[in-house]
Amino acid sequence: MTDATQGLSGIGDLVTKLQSGTTGSGAQPLDVGSLLGNMSMTAIIVGLIAGLVGSGYFMYGKKSHNLTMVFSGIALCVVPYFISNNILLVCACLAMTAIPFVI
């Protein structure tokens, strides 16, 4: 019975070390903020929604041979990575969403 208890405490210690980032290997803990850059949560959500709409525009434009929809879809998928201001990002995405229906 003591072997099973020692095994569970060993797993608990490993989980604690992984959460604190001190695994003993000298490797730095993975920082999620560095993977996302300086993007705020608002920018991430707006980019996700714009990417979903953009991929829909791209698929519809490709199927119907509508180049305006294709290029608007590509722009909606790519542009959120280059705009850091949230208000400007929302305005740009709304404009790109409306362009295929205006042109």
Closest CA to 62 of 70, 54, 74: 70
Are 84 and 38 contacting, i.e. CB atoms less than 8 angstroms apart? yes
User: Token digits for 40?
Assistant: 């705020």
What is the arithmetic mean of pLDDT over 67-77? 95
Q: Note the pLDDT of residue 81.
A: 87
CA 61 from chain centre, in angstroms, equals: 24
Distance separating alpha carbons of residues 73 and 62, to the nearest angstrom: 10
pLDDT at 6 over 70: no
CA 69 from chain centre, in angstroms, equals: 23
| pLDDT band for position 103 (cuts 50, 70, 90) | confident
